[in-house]
């Protein structure tokens, strides 16, 4: 008898040690599948559409994916260490209520990528089975919803199949393009341009950086002693290899296909597959389904975290989770059905907009984790509105606001081009400035916390030298789990 599908029972709550399982190499498949999507192909095509040559797009793609992928992969180690979703960790930086701001921004990312994925996924399903693309988007939303509802274990399992299929198909399509006699002529046109090259790096970096709010959600069930290097390394490899492969395919396809590719990206790729066009469409569907499921899954946790913060709850059951996932899916589908026209232009604006607002959050989160608290957090306090992290942290907000504002002179978008960007011929470096300023200001304003953490570590060394034993104290989080928060003084914190 076939084993029944078991719905995931956890949501925003802590994952206790007896429920941890898995190996970090599974992250390779999750992030490779999420990155080898038709949306990443479209992102690669933007390099050519914005004026870069396909030839020079390739190094820009690799550089941008590597830089952005490294930053986002650093978040992956937080999952096993803390055992909670990525965005709920923001309470340690912004405060219990203050974290609602980055949660809302993350929710915009989830819904935005979900909606754009429904457009392209709907085209693939519509072409494959011969139904209108709008109906295909609705079918795609149902599939994404079901996979998000069953949860973490099945998302990982599905990503293994999607990653393997996408690798075979995308490499095959790349070989097909490179074997076309015309590619040598069109790949080098137009000539190299510094501004569009830098803009290309920013586009691919933004693709990776906007995964920041997702990352730890898919490593939080790993055992707490999972090596940090393995978690970061497998995430980095899957993201960078997958993103670079898909975007390179998109840049070359746009150069070779021109208007035909721009009019129907999914149809053009299917045509490259020849007699195997149904397999190409299946790969497009599976890759995009992985990404859309991550957006749906992360979106419901953001909504759940916001709502539970306001009503004072700390746990969401499977039934409520299903309702949240349905809400996210319905909203995203409505946007997808209304935003099909001028998709490429709108998507470019969307990527750059997200980049300006999310990189400061990522910098603050990583600086706090690695440099300020050095991986030591009180899990109990993350779920306590009156806990040690406070309700609102003004220092984090100041760092975040400065990190956003400092980018304005460097911005290059359809809405606004800053004076520095104009001086640089349109080159886009605002995200780099935002990371440096937000992270630097937050570190500078965290002196009290750093001194407190240093005292705790010194006290621990003193006790160890004296031969004292440190006993973990278990405290209920009110969320159906009892994480052991360990510190060497009276406050409770994970090791």
- Residue 331: which residues within 8 A CB-CB, separation 6 or more? 111
Say what the pLDDT of residue 345 is: 63
| 184 token code pair | 């040598």
**Whole-Å CA distances, 217 to 84, 146, 206:** 7, 18, 19
CA angle in degrees (0–180, nearest 5) for 415-417-418: 135
In a domain, 321, yes or no: yes
59 neighbors 189 (Cβ within 8 angstroms)? no
Residue 9 φ/ψ, nearest 5 degrees: -95, -25
In a domain, 495, yes or no: no
Which secondary-structure segment (H or E) carries 249?
Answer: helix 228-257
In a domain, 1, yes or no: no
Residue whose structure tokens are 């390099």: 47
In a domain, 7, yes or no: no
Three-state secondary structure call for residue 405? helix
| 41 token code pair | 């192909």
Say what the pLDDT of residue 461 is: 67
Neighbours of 253 (CB within 10 A): 28
Q: How far apart are CA 491 and CA 191, in angstroms?
A: 61
In a domain, 11, yes or no: no
In a domain, 225, yes or no: yes
> What domain count does the chain have?
1
CA 170 to chain centre: 22
In a domain, 136, yes or no: yes
Domain that holds residue 378: 17-485
Strand partners, 349: none
241 neighbors 32 (Cβ within 8 angstroms)? yes
Q: Which of 293, 238, 297 is nearest to 85 (CA)?
A: 297
Q: What is the mean pLDDT of each run of 10 residues along the chain (495 residues)?
A: 70 90 95 92 86 87 95 94 92 94 89 87 90 93 94 93 96 92 78 82 88 91 94 96 95 87 84 90 93 92 88 79 92 84 65 79 95 92 90 94 94 81 80 93 92 73 59 39 39 33
Q: How far apart are CA 452 and CA 51, in angstroms?
A: 52
- Residue 312: which residues within 8 A CB-CB, separation 6 or more? 385
Buried b (16+ CB within 10 A) or exposed e, 235-252: bbbbbbbbbbbbbbbbbb
DSSP secondary-structure letter at 368?
A: I
392 neighbors 163 (Cβ within 8 angstroms)? no
273: domain CATH number? 1.10.4160.10
Task: Compute the CA torsion angle 233, 431, 390, 76 (nearest 10 deg).
Answer: -10
Say what the pLDDT of residue 488 is: 30
Give the distance between the most distant pair of CA atoms in the chain. Answer: 75
44 neighbors 248 (Cβ within 8 angstroms)? yes
| 263 token code pair | 């009019």
In a domain, 2, yes or no: no
Q: pTM above the 0.75 mark?
A: yes
Q: How far apart are CA 128 and CA 132, in angstroms?
A: 10
């Amino acid at each position: 008898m076939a084993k029944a599908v078991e719905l995931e029972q956890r949501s925003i709550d802590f994952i206790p040690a007896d429920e941890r399982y898995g190996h970090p190499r599974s992250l390779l498949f999750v992030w490779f599948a999420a990155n080898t999507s038709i949306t990443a192909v479209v992102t690669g095509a933007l390099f050519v559409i914005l004026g870069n040559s396909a030839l020079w797009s390739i190094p820009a793609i690799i550089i941008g994916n590597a830089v952005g992928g490294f930053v986002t992969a650093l978040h992956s180690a937080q999952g096993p260490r803390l055992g909670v979703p990525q965005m709920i960790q923001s309470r340690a930086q912004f405060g219990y209520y203050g974290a609602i701001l980055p949660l809302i921004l993350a929710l915009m990312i989830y819904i935005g990528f979900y909606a754009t994925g429904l457009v392209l996924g709907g085209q693939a399903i519509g072409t494959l089975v011969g139904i209108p693309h709008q109906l295909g988007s609705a079918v795609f939303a149902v599939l994404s919803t079901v996979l998000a509802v069953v949860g973490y274990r099945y998302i990982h399992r599905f990503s293994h199949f999607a990653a393997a299929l996408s690798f075979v198909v995308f490499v095959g399509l790349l070989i097909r393009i490179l074997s076309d006699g015309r590619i040598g002529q069109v790949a080098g046109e137009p000539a190299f341009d510094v501004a569009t090259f830098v803009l290309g790096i920013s586009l691919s970096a933004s693709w990776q950086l906007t995964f920041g709010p997702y990352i730890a959600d898919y490593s939080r069930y790993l055992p707490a002693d999972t090596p940090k290097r393995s978690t970061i390394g497998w995430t980095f490899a899957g993201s960078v290899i997958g993103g670079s492969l898909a975007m390179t395919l998109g840049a070359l396809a746009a150069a070779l296909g021109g208007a035909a590719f721009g009019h129907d990206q999914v149809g053009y790729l299917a045509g490259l597959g020849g007699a195997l066009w149904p397999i190409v469409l299946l790969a497009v569907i599976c890759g995009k389904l992985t990404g859309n499921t991550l957006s749906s899954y992360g979106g419901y946790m953001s909504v759940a975290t916001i709502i539970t913060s306001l009503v004072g709850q700390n746990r969401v059951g499977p039934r409520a989770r299903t309702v949240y996932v349905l809400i996210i899916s319905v909203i995203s589908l409505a946007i997808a059905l209304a935003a099909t026209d001028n998709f490429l232009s709108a998507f470019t604006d969307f990527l750059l907009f997200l980049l300006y607002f999310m990189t400061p959050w990522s910098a603050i989160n990583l600086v706090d984790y690695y440099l300020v608290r050095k991986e030591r957090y009180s899990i109990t306090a993350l779920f306590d509105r009156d806990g040690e992290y406070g309700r609102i942290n003004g220092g984090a907000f100041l760092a975040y606001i400065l990190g956003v504002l400092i980018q304005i002179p460097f911005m290059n978008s359809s809405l606004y081009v800053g004076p520095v960007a104009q001086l640089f011929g349109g080159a886009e470096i605002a995200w780099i400035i935002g990371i440096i300023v937000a992270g630097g200001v937050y570190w500078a304003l965290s002196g009290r916390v750093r001194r407190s953490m240093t005292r705790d570590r010194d006290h621990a060394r003193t006790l160890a030298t004296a031969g004292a034993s440190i006993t973990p104290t278990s405290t209920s989080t009110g969320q159906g789990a009892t994480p052991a928060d360990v510190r060497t003084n009276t406050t409770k914190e994970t090791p």
